[in-house]
Amino acid sequence: MTMPSSRSHQQRRQLYQRKKKALLAQPPTPHVLRLRLLVILGVFLLGLLGLTSRLVYLQVVDYERLGAIAQSQHQVTLRPYIPRRTIVDRNNNILALDRIAYTLYAHPIGFRLPKELEENLPEAIAPTDLPKAVAHYLAPVLGDITPDDLESQLRQQRSGILLRPSLDQAKVDEIRRLRIDGLELIERYGRFYPQGSAAAEITGYVQADEHIGQAGIELSQESQIQREPISLALRRNARGAILPGDLQAEAMKYDDWELQLSLDLPLQEAARNAMQKQMAAYKAKRGIVIVMDARNGEILSLVTEPSYDPNNYAQVTPENYDVFKNWAVADLYEPGSTFKPINIALALDAGVISPSTVVNDTGTIQVGPHRMKNYNGAGNGLIDVAHVLRVSSNVGMIRLMQNLPQNDYYDRLQSLKLTELTGIDLPGEVAGSIKSREKFTSSPVEAAVNSFGQGFTLTPIKLVQLHGAFANGGTLVRPHLVRGLFDSQGQAQNVTPKAVIPRNPQQLPTQAEPEADNQIFSPETAQTVLEMMETVVTDGSGEKSKIAGYRIGGKTGTAQKAQNGRYIPGSYITSFVSIFPVDEPRYVILAAADEPTEPNSFGGTVAAPVVHDVIQALILREKIPPSEAIAIPQSNASDDSGNE
């Protein structure tokens, strides 16, 4: 087969190129021109149609979404911080308020001292030991911590150590003058408690970072204290700056309401001082004082010791976390002899005894398989009901209550609502406990131990509520601290509660409004028992609460503590509960000291003197006149003036 030569191939290619040029050189025919124009016009119309449909979609169909996006680029929503409402006592002394404060953090990894501080370090501190060096300079500024304790804190971690949740401007200025790298001050609104620890067990505290109540009234009344948040919709320019014309003066306004408590701050301080003195003298583990107005349940004072400073709650060490627990409402104990007046009232109302009933106090008594005795084992012979109470006879109480059938006794104990909350407006309240009916009635032992205040438990605030019935004609009133919200003109205000804590009234009545089932004693019985309690003060173990010219009723108690169903040897709660004044009963005062360890530690020696001091403060605060003329002792010294 013969292959074409390369020359013939080149000739054919040249021929093709000449024909192509000739064809292109010819002018297009009219038909071709029209076709080209139609194609171009069609492409143009298609493009115009697509653009128009897109514009219609953007401007009509997707208008709302795109408008919102455009609006958001020029508008911003701000939620400014709104201060919490101020808390005040009954006389408008400030207990808690919001103010500009500073949180102090330490970052040891970044510690560095300025040259002048480094040069002035004591020889015992190496400049390279930065935690020790920083503690040396910072502790005196903080003022409430030693350099050694602060150094221990600074060695806990490398960064982010919270040293103080709230510092005032003066301390901040001092810290800034130190110019120590690694100390961080964050400006914010902070909760400030100008009274320090004076009312910490009542106010509680607010967590610094979340600004939410964590204890006390700050927690239980969160919905009342926290104002409604404000949202501001503002515009901004192309650079992101807020347009000032949009911010109206009224937009940042909020109410001036304050939460008022029934607490009397000077009385609170007097009660704390009295308890601290007795705790120190008798080396007690902890103490409590409660003062309640029995007419309406208002709490005038509630002290638990030891306490803490809510401004520096973060400084409380783990082993001392119990200070955050308000044992007035959150701890159960056996009330002991302070419950004897209540048992006597139950028996009197049942009609099984009368004030003239006489029992034989032999010092000991056999009840079932158990032999029970008075605290000292000694008998008092034939004694009436008032005498039983005055000498706090256990045997006498057992014999008195044996007149009351056990089923009836149990029903009457239940009528006291021992297993129900008092409803006090503090968080963490627990209900008392009592044996089941079956167990209580199956053996005479249960009724016997209950007769002198053991075998069941209640809280201190429950005991105060029960004794309040002796001061108001036999009625249970609800203990409370919150009076309500008041504006700057003193007018009561209301907010809708958010159900943070139940039983949270907005405004409480000035007088008790008892329900029928809150009448636990007859008025006659309440008065009779109160007069018996007066003899405990005039002639019995409550003598250390006596004040010349004033009629005071009371009952001491020295109750053995129990744990896991067994009594703890040598472990007691000494207490004294008082009604004052007897002739016009109004106030209930309870003082209790837990585990005093000094000799002669009893309710009459440890707690009664506290009540004495509290009543003296009450007399001064409320200007209470004496019940009777006060005899002024005659002096034996010679009178040089010659006057008779």
Residue 120 belongs to a domain with what CATH number?
A: 3.90.1310
d(CA 229, CA 82): 7
217 contacts 424 by C-beta, under 8 angstroms: no
486 contacts 250 by C-beta, under 8 angstroms: no
Please tell me what DSSP assigns to residue 603: I
In a shared domain, residues 221 and 280: no
In CATH, what number is assigned to the domain containing residue 346?
Answer: 3.40.710.10
153 contacts 161 by C-beta, under 8 angstroms: yes
State the DSSP H helix or E strand holding residue 184, giving kind and residue range, or none if neither: strand 183-192
Query: What pLDDT is recorded for position 637?
Result: 38
In a shared domain, residues 465 and 611: yes
Query: What pLDDT is recorded for position 513?
Result: 45
380 contacts 373 by C-beta, under 8 angstroms: no
User: Is residue 641 in a domain?
Assistant: no
Please tell me what DSSP assigns to residue 548: T
Pair of tokens at residue 33: 């021109």
In a shared domain, residues 201 and 293: no
Q: Which residues are catalytic?
A: 337
Question: How many other β-carbons are positioned within 10 Å of the β-carbon of residue 301?
Answer: 26
Choose among 389, 306, 412: nearest CA to 557.
Answer: 389
Question: Locate tokens 């074409």: which residue?
Answer: 4
Alpha-carbon Rg of the chain, whole angstroms?
Answer: 41
In a shared domain, residues 305 and 183: no
Cis ω before 585 (30° cut-off from 0): no
How many CA atoms, within 13 angstroms, populate the side-chain half-sphere of residue 11? 5
Choose among 433, 438, 362: nearest CA to 396.
Answer: 362
- Amino acid 236 reads R
Query: What pLDDT is recorded for position 517?
Result: 67
Contacts of 402 (CB under 8 A, 6+ apart): 444, 447, 448
DSSP string, 329-377: HH--B--GGGGHHHHHHHHHHHTS--TT-EEEE-SEEEETTEEEE-TTS
Choose among 235, 242, 291, 284: nearest CA to 263.
Answer: 291
Q: How long is the chain?
A: 644
Query: What pLDDT is recorded for position 520?
Result: 96
In a shared domain, residues 186 and 282: no
DSSP-derived 3-state class of residue 447: helix
User: Is residue 254 in a domain?
Assistant: no
Question: How many other β-carbons are positioned within 10 Å of the β-carbon of residue 632?
Answer: 7
Contacts of 539 (CB under 8 A, 6+ apart): 390
Contacts of 21 (CB under 8 A, 6+ apart): none
Pair of tokens at residue 85: 């409402």
Choosing from 210, 226, 242, the residue where a domain stops is 226
381 contacts 395 by C-beta, under 8 angstroms: no
User: Is residue 231 in a domain?
Assistant: no
DSSP-derived 3-state class of residue 616: helix
Pair of tokens at residue 530: 């109160």
In a shared domain, residues 478 and 385: yes
Tally the domains of the chain: 2
Angle at 335 between CA 527 and CA 546, to 5 degrees: 55
In a shared domain, residues 440 and 556: yes
Rounded to whole angstroms, what are the CA distances from 300 to 196, 520, 545, 638? Answer: 18, 23, 19, 46
In a shared domain, residues 339 and 220: no
Pair of tokens at residue 417: 């609502």
User: Is residue 451 in a domain?
Assistant: yes
Question: How many other β-carbons are positioned within 10 Å of the β-carbon of residue 500?
Answer: 15
Contacts of 566 (CB under 8 A, 6+ apart): none
In a shared domain, residues 414 and 472: yes
User: Is residue 305 in a domain?
Assistant: yes
Burial class for 407, CB neighbours closer than 10 Å (0-12, 13-18, 19+): exposed
Choose among 479, 482, 448: nearest CA to 463.
Answer: 479
In a shared domain, residues 274 and 157: no
In a shared domain, residues 392 and 528: yes
User: Is residue 135 in a domain?
Assistant: yes
Range of the domain at 137: 86-226
Question: How many other β-carbons are positioned within 10 Å of the β-carbon of residue 594?
Answer: 20
In a shared domain, residues 175 and 285: no
Which stretches of the chain score pLDDT less than 70?
1-7, 22-25, 58, 63, 66-80, 230-253, 495-517, 629-644
User: Is residue 116 in a domain?
Assistant: yes
d(CA 447, CA 619): 39
